[in-house]
A and B are shown apart, each in its own frame.
Chain A
Amino acid sequence: MATTDSPESPQKLYAAREPVFPRRVRGKFRALKWWIMALTLGVYYLTPWIRWDRGPNLPDQAVLVDLAGRRFFFFWIEIWPHEFYFIAGLLIMAGLGLFLFTSALGRVWCGYACPQTVWTDLFILTERWIEGDRNARVRLWNAKWNLRKWRLRLSKWAVWLLIGAATGGAWVFYFTDAPQLLGDLFTGNAHPVAYTTIAIMTFTTFFFGGVAREQICIYACPWPRIQAAMMDEDTVVVAYRDWRGEPRGRGKQREGLGDCIDCNACVNVCPMGIDIRDGQQLECITCALCIDACDEMMDKVGKPRGLIDYIALKDEVHERAGGHKRSLIKHVLRPRVLLYTFLWAAIGVALTVMLFVRPVIDLTVRPVRNPTFVTLSDGSVRNTYEVGVRNKHGESRPFYFTLGIDSPFMVNVEGTVETMLSVPADTEGKTRLYVTAPAGTDMARDDRTEIRIWVIDGVTGDRTFHDTVFNGRGQ
């Protein structure tokens, strides 16, 4: 921009999108991406259909987010709301994992596993099936809206919509019994929320994967802005060896020219629409398709591969000075990566340990403070506690309360003379528990006495306790 007060033309506030028509490419990274796509999509679409016997009262679904019952089922693991720290821990691990991978290998997440990338890839694949490869698509883009263009466009949109609907459909299956819901969806009996969710997911998948594509990565996603903080000169990214390729040029006469034949293959395959030869760019998701494209060219012209390659900033200095390519391990093994790995693993280990040591029975005890105690006619003093026992078994269980074998206190469950509470399968049994100190005992007299309330599973004998206080008359 000129420094004059009245510029020739005021800058546009927004740049119009340059349409991107990625060309098809073959190669090892492309193959890897196909495998990852098959794996991630497979996991996403199929997981809700894995069955797992959960007893009579729950859907036999291996992975189930039961929002109504506020439970999360993952194979043999059952997470109740008070154990939400497991989910929080997993989210932190996911975040740290992203840090770890980014500091080691740059935006590999973006390039290979991010849903935006995977679905966009799938959408480009269908686009290519229907409309042809890059050149055909460019021609179609510029063509007039005749019958053929309408036919191709409409069939493409239809397939995209189907993919979008399948995506939204798979999502809702995670929240309820999948086979049941599938039937309900087709007979029109499913909950309106299910239809709304599918509609929203269909639209967003269609829009993000079909229309917005790289603009999501460039404008909407915060990660490209943050990731720079995770990267340093040892981070492996996709880069162009300009010391080897430049000066680029076409033609047979290669005297004084670098290895780059300026064929633009790397630009044509890039789903982000950039030219990696301009240097490292915010838009680059390190998907390596340009590497595959360039390697193919190098093979054709009989030059060594790796003009575009996964390398680190440090390598430039090193290689310019005539050094060999450094091994990946050398780049990856550095304090920063090790620290992220350590933190990540530590949380993982902690969560696993907690998973195994978490109490089999959960007991909550809340003393009733209004009033703190009640004097009974025989002079004994009674305290009331609101107790909750979680029965995580698939069958109804008796639970027994006690204050210990030789405790002078008497315990009974509200409305009974029993110490037993029967809790139905997979629910939290709540009741009020009365603890009575006989007249004349210290506890009846004293201000406060520490007590320990035990609960024992009547079937397995598992037990746990909760410490609380008993309020006496205080005189």
Chain B
Amino acid sequence: MSDKKQDVGTTGHEWDGIKEFNNPLPRWWVWTFYATIVWGIGYTIAYPAWPLINGATRGVLGYSTRTEVASEIDRFAEMNAGIKAELAAMDVTEIAANEAVSNYAIQSGRATFATYCSQCHGAGADGVAEGNGYPNLLDDDWLWGGDIEAITYTVTHGIRNGTDDDARFSEMPAFGDDYLSDEEITNVVAYVRSLSGMESMGNVEEGAVVFADNCTACHGENAQGDREQGAPNLADAIWLYGGDEQSVEHSVRVGPKGAMPNWNARLDEAQIKAVAAYVHQLGGGE
């Protein structure tokens, strides 16, 4: 840079006859370099930087990514506060008619579902595995009712949980415990499966008699179920605990009873309504 005449000499390095001059670094370069050092020191004082045994220096500006995330979350919560209050105050049956609220409900319901419900009902809401007793929420078959009010009630109070007095409750006896003989069980399984057009060993006519004597109180005369008691429809193609011979027999013997927590203890009203709205629009809602 400087045009002073000077005798700089070489560094003594030589490659293939090319020698390196010992020119000083340009002044601006050196000053930039010093400036970056000063900047670097200042930075590690201002921001969290040096690792200590438990954690790291905090930095005098008190910056932390955690508080930043928390404040972002707060910001969004604040932005949505109005519409959330509106949702909480609204009757569930009116949500669908209000585009803004229903959009908010479905989107936030999707997130709530993923956080709290997907463990049992699956990320896609089709139950964890078909026939394992975790209801598929996409189909048109509902144990306790599939309109949005029924769904809201189920989410709020849960099923057979023992922690909410208003929980939906019913119990199928374990018919294997001396209620029915093995033969009667085989026959009633054959009858129930025949309602869906499936064959199995056992006498269908005798099974029908066993069914009429023991099962119609809950499942109804034609085995179409009873939503008052959460009794499944046995004449359709959907099997909560599996429709093959062994599975149906197992259900008759032990009387399985799934439970669901009451979410009123953990979710606020708007969250419950949102999750109900989300589930209701998944394809099975009535």
Taking Cβ atoms with an 8 Å cutoff, the residues of A that contact B are: 5-10, 12-14, 368, 370-371, 374-380, 382, 384, 414-415, 432, 434, 439
Provide the bound-state CA to CA distance between A414 and B281, in Å.
Answer: 8
- Per-residue contact bits, chain B 219-258, to A (CB 8 Å; 1 contact, 0 not): 0000000000000010011100000000000000000000
Given contacts A10-B23, A13-B1, A13-B26, contact A374 B136 (CB under 8 A): yes
Q: Are A434 and B236 in contact (CB under 8 A)?
A: no
- Per-residue contact bits, chain B 95-133, to A (CB 8 Å; 1 contact, 0 not): 000000000000000000000000000111010001000
- Nearest CB of A to B181, in Å: 31
Give the residue of B8, B126, B138, B281 whose beta carbon is less than 8 angstroms from that of A10: B8
B162 within 8 A of A: no
Chain B residue with Cβ nearest A14: B1
Residues on B with beta carbons closer than 8 Å to the beta carbon of A14: 1
Provide the bound-state CA to CA distance between A14 and B140, in Å.
Answer: 79
Residues on A with beta carbons closer than 8 Å to the beta carbon of B196: 379
| Given pairs A7-B21, A10-B21, 17 additional interface contacts (CB within 8 A) | A5-B10, A10-B6, A13-B26, A371-B138, A374-B136, A376-B140, A376-B141, A376-B238, A377-B140, A377-B237, A379-B196, A379-B236, A379-B237, A380-B237, A414-B283, A415-B281, A432-B283
B139 within 8 A of A: yes
Residues on A with beta carbons closer than 8 Å to the beta carbon of B1: 12-14
- Nearest CB of B to A356, in Å: 38
B3 within 8 A of A: yes
Chain A residue with Cβ nearest B21: A10
Q: Are B237 and A375 in contact (CB under 8 A)?
A: yes
| Residue of B5, B122, B124 contacting most chain A CB atoms (<10 Å) | B124
Provide the bound-state CA to CA distance between A374 and B123, in Å.
Answer: 14
Q: Are B5 and A9 in contact (CB under 8 A)?
A: yes
Give the residue of B6, B126, B141 whose beta carbon is less than 8 angstroms from that of A377: B141
Chain B residue with Cβ nearest A381: B237
Residues on A with beta carbons closer than 8 Å to the beta carbon of B26: 13
Provide the bound-state CA to CA distance between A432 and B138, in Å.
Answer: 13
| Residue of A14, A375, A376, A434 contacting most chain B CB atoms (<10 Å) | A375
B9 within 8 A of A: yes
Residues on A with beta carbons closer than 8 Å to the beta carbon of B3: 9, 12
B7 within 8 A of A: yes
B19 within 8 A of A: yes
* Residue total for B at the interface (Cβ-Cβ under 8 A): 29
Residues on B with beta carbons closer than 8 Å to the beta carbon of A8: 5
Which residues 1-53 in B have Cβ within 8 Å of A in the complex?
1, 3, 5-10, 19, 21, 23, 26
Provide the bound-state CA to CA distance between A382 and B3, in Å.
Answer: 83
Q: Are B281 and A375 in contact (CB under 8 A)?
A: no
Q: Are B140 and A371 in contact (CB under 8 A)?
A: no
Residues on B with beta carbons closer than 8 Å to the beta carbon of A7: 21
- Nearest CB of B to A438, in Å: 12
Provide the bound-state CA to CA distance between A8 and B7, in Å.
Answer: 7
28 cross-chain CB contacts under 8 A: A5-B19, A10-B6, A10-B23, A13-B1, A13-B26, A368-B124, A370-B122, A370-B123, A370-B126, A371-B122, A374-B136, A374-B139, A375-B136, A376-B140, A376-B141, A376-B237, A377-B139, A377-B140, A377-B141, A377-B233, A377-B236, A377-B237, A377-B238, A378-B236, A380-B237, A382-B283, A434-B283, A439-B237
| Residue of A7, A376, A380, A432 contacting most chain B CB atoms (<10 Å) | A376
Residues on A with beta carbons closer than 8 Å to the beta carbon of B122: 370-371
Given contacts A374-B136, A377-B139, contact A6 B5 (CB under 8 A): no
Chain A residue with Cβ nearest B243: A375
Residues on B with beta carbons closer than 8 Å to the beta carbon of A370: 122-124, 126
Provide the bound-state CA to CA distance between A234 and B1, in Å.
Answer: 42
Chain A residue with Cβ nearest B8: A10
Chain A residue with Cβ nearest B124: A370
Q: Are A6 and B140 in contact (CB under 8 A)?
A: no
Residues on B with beta carbons closer than 8 Å to the beta carbon of A368: 124
Provide the bound-state CA to CA distance between A6 and B8, in Å.
Answer: 6
Residues on B with beta carbons closer than 8 Å to the beta carbon of A415: 281
Q: Are A6 and B7 in contact (CB under 8 A)?
A: yes
- Nearest CB of B to A422, in Å: 14
Provide the bound-state CA to CA distance between A384 and B196, in Å.
Answer: 25
Provide the bound-state CA to CA distance between A439 and B140, in Å.
Answer: 14
Q: Are A371 and B126 in contact (CB under 8 A)?
A: yes
Provide the bound-state CA to CA distance between A9 and B26, in Å.
Answer: 16
Provide the bound-state CA to CA distance between A371 and B126, in Å.
Answer: 6
Provide the bound-state CA to CA distance between A120 and B110, in Å.
Answer: 58
- Nearest CB of A to B230, in Å: 16
Provide the bound-state CA to CA distance between A7 and B7, in Å.
Answer: 7
Which residues 118-169 in B have Cβ within 8 Å of A in the complex?
122-124, 126, 130, 136, 138-141
